[in-house]
Amino acid sequence: MTAANSSAEFTLPLPYHADRRSPIRWVLSHSLNKWPLWLLILVGAVGNAGFLAIVQTIIGQAFNAVMAQPPALQLLLRYALIIAACSVGRGLLQFGRNFGAELLAQKVERDVRNELYVSLLGKSMTFHSLQPVGDTMARATNDVREVNFMFSPGFNLVIGSLNFLIMPLIVAPRYHPSLVITPILFIIAYIFALREYLSTLGPITDRVRGSFGQLNTRLAEALEGIETVKGSAQEQAEVDLFEANVRRYRDAAVRQGDVEARFLPLLLLSTALAGGLFHALLLYSQGLLTVGDVVGYFGILLMLDFPTFTSLWAYSQISLGLAGARRILELINRETDLDQNIAGYQGPMTGAVEFRDVCFAYNDDDCMLQNVSFSVKPGQTVAIVGQTGSGKTSLARLINRTYDASSGQVLVDGIDVRDWNLEALRRNISIIEQDIFLFSRSLAENIAFGKPDASMDEVLQAARAAQADEFARSFEEGYQTVIGERGVTLSGGQRQRVALARAFLTDPRILILDDSTSAIDSATEDKIQRAIFTAARGRTTFIITHRLSQIRWADLILVLRKGRLIAMGTHEDLLRTSEAYRRIFSE
């Protein structure tokens, strides 16, 4: 599956194709298209190891030059210049390798963040309702960062260290063919030990990343509900719950450290160095090697310490990165029933709405709506009433495909909403909820959120229609006043008037007001009612409310009870014929 053809509620064209069949394929598909950086890393790694092998060999020859009688001073000077040149070359190549690896890591992180963000925007509300925000944030921040670290320093050091393993195999035979035995035996033992190490470490790093997600989820919930926590004096209880999650994360991290502490290649390295030195001295005693050869060979063996020590944490970083990639990919691949339907109907909308035997349930839970059928003509005002939990909001969310009906049909202008182009459908429908979400931006930007190219005159006109102009101008910076996150610097009534202005500005064909005037005080209620009445003219309006003043002038009233449509008609008709409707106003 690629980023371009995945089913989603919303998609953007991405400049790359990601193979999502496995975490390894996915990570590599994000990096292989940046092959010049891989080439830079590889050249830097090979060159760095090659120059060091030359330096170790020259040092051995320098020992022979020193022990000569008389010492070969000119030869020593030449050796010193070669070592200096190799060191400069190593520095340049190592800089290129590190720079290439870091640039590759940052580019991959950018692409992964983009793909994840676009994917999250494209998920349905069912997904977002069930997926904890804290865990999503952990995946979008720390797990993505772990993917970065997997490349730099992870892959960077692994590629570099692999060349340090190869060089002893190439250089050792030049001293004596049998001296290649030690590096060969070490590499074989190293591979088996590393394989066992990684198979043990993999599940542990998965637990580390998973427990961090749980920790972050609890933190996000506590902060989101901080008013409830403080109002109920439950600070200590929340601290205890948080500490339990911290302990779970700590235990997983300690277990990872325990496995890393038992890293067997460290013991293998010591054994290899001792065995190799003994072998070289044995050949020296037989007159097959010089002192310089022994020194040079031992220097070559010392190159094995770099892959041994770096693999202790470089492979751990790769394992953590793969665990993070697995969690990110699981989120991206999570299926959603909604799709953008780019080829769907995009014609003008008049606002006719029809429900045909509609049932709706979240996943496999009990149905929130059962066998709902009604028809609304363009421009009519519909009031939806019923007790809490009767399915009023769920019904409204089916119109703009926030959710899809489990069975039956929802039609707008006679066309099934599934056959509409999703953007075209939602562009013509505005929903104002009871819990208004405002962004930490200026008032003007919040009002123009659904129409970013709106002029200031249009923003002012919408604000006046929503009775928001007066309080907006009371601020020192007027419409340029930046409000806090979620609009915390505004009162409930002010937030809802800003949301009304936002809806008026987009001029939708269908307007849905989900108890949107509940926080408006009685002093401004009449003004808001007139604004809503004006806004309802010429467009289909659905009002979810318990306010009799709003219900009375509706053209059609739908009475819901336990997910069923038990009555519908005008206010006068229902007062005569529906006991459930009368009971709503008597409670």
- For residue 543, give the CATH number of its domain: 3.40.50.300
- Where is pLDDT greater, at 231 or 395? 395
Question: Which pLDDT score is estimated for 70?
Answer: 78
pLDDT at 75 over 60: yes
Mean pLDDT of 136-162: 89
Looking at the structure, tell me whether residues 446 and 512 fall in a common domain.
no
Q: Position of tokens 């409930």? A: 492
Looking at the structure, tell me whether residues 348 and 208 fall in a common domain.
no
Question: Which pLDDT score is estimated for 4?
Answer: 39
**Domain presence at residue 17:** no
Question: Which pLDDT score is estimated for 83?
Answer: 92
* Burial status of residue 258 (CB atoms within 10 A of its CB: 0-12, 13-18, 19 or more): exposed
Q: Select from 360, 382, 381 the least CA-distant residue to 372.
A: 360
**Domain presence at residue 583:** yes
Mean pLDDT of 304-330: 87
Task: Name, in order, each residue with C-beta under 8 angstroms of 191's C-beta and a sequence gap of 6 or more.
Answer: none
CATH of the domain at 88: 1.20.1560.10
Looking at the structure, tell me whether residues 325 and 351 fall in a common domain.
no
Looking at the structure, tell me whether residues 92 and 60 fall in a common domain.
yes
Question: Which pLDDT score is estimated for 517?
Answer: 57
Question: Which pLDDT score is estimated for 281?
Answer: 93
Q: Is 4 helix (H, G, I), strand (E, B) or coil?
A: coil
Q: Position of tokens 């277990």? A: 255
**Domain presence at residue 14:** no
Question: Which pLDDT score is estimated for 232?
Answer: 67
Average pLDDT of the chain is 84
What separation, in Å, do the N-terminal and C-terminal C-alpha atoms of the chain show? 55
Total domains in the fold of the chain: 3
Mean pLDDT of 564-579: 87
pLDDT at 455 over 80: yes
**Domain presence at residue 94:** yes
pLDDT at 239 over 90: no
Looking at the structure, tell me whether residues 460 and 549 fall in a common domain.
no
pLDDT at 161 over 70: yes
0.75 exceeded by the pTM?
A: no
Cis peptide before 153 (omega within 30 of 0): yes
Structure tokens at 77: 């000077």
Looking at the structure, tell me whether residues 542 and 424 fall in a common domain.
yes
Phi/psi of residue 513, each to 5°? -110, 105
Mean pLDDT of 172-199: 90
Mean pLDDT of 317-344: 82
Pick the last residue of a domain from 333, 364, 386. 333
Question: Which pLDDT score is estimated for 501?
Answer: 84
**Domain presence at residue 434:** no
Mean pLDDT of 129-148: 84
The length of the chain, given as a count of residues: 587
Looking at the structure, tell me whether residues 80 and 179 fall in a common domain.
yes
**Domain presence at residue 221:** no
Question: Which pLDDT score is estimated for 488?
Answer: 64
pLDDT grade for 184, boundaries at 50, 70 and 90 = very high
Looking at the structure, tell me whether residues 133 and 35 fall in a common domain.
yes
H/E stretch holding 375 reads strand 369-376
pLDDT at 3 over 60: no
Question: Which pLDDT score is estimated for 2?
Answer: 39
Q: From residue 313, give the alpha-carbon distance in Å to each of 153, 198, 370.
A: 9, 11, 57
Structure tokens at 400: 């703009």
Q: Is 448 helix (H, G, I), strand (E, B) or coil?
A: coil
Question: Which pLDDT score is estimated for 226?
Answer: 73
Cis peptide before 348 (omega within 30 of 0): no
Question: Which pLDDT score is estimated for 197?
Answer: 82
Residue range 28-37, pLDDT digits in tens = 889 988 999 9
Judge contact between 498 and 438, C-beta under 8 A.
yes
Looking at the structure, tell me whether residues 139 and 33 fall in a common domain.
yes
Question: Which pLDDT score is estimated for 133?
Answer: 78
User: Which residue segment(s) compose the domain that 492 sits in?
Assistant: 440-502
Looking at the structure, tell me whether residues 492 and 367 fall in a common domain.
no
Question: Which pLDDT score is estimated for 472?
Answer: 85
Looking at the structure, tell me whether residues 50 and 35 fall in a common domain.
yes
**Domain presence at residue 2:** no
Judge contact between 204 and 259, C-beta under 8 A.
yes
pLDDT at 263 over 80: no
**Domain presence at residue 366:** yes
Mean pLDDT of 100-129: 85
pLDDT at 416 over 90: yes
Pick the last residue of a domain from 480, 502, 524. 502
Pick the last residue of a domain from 460, 475, 502. 502
In terms of average pLDDT, the best of 273-287, 352-366, 432-446 is 273-287
Looking at the structure, tell me whether residues 373 and 265 fall in a common domain.
no
pLDDT at 144 over 50: yes
Q: Is 382 helix (H, G, I), strand (E, B) or coil?
A: strand
Tell whether the torsion through CA atoms of 554, 555, 561 and 563 is positive or negative.
negative
Judge contact between 420 and 412, C-beta under 8 A.
yes
Four-point Cα dihedral 261, 263, 264, 265, nearest 10: -130
In terms of average pLDDT, the best of 128-142, 201-215, 414-428, 491-505 is 414-428
Residue range 515-529, pLDDT digits in tens = 755 555 566 566 666
Residue range 44-60, pLDDT digits in tens = 999 999 999 999 999 99
In whole angstroms, what is the distance from residue 129 CA to residue 108 CA?
A: 29
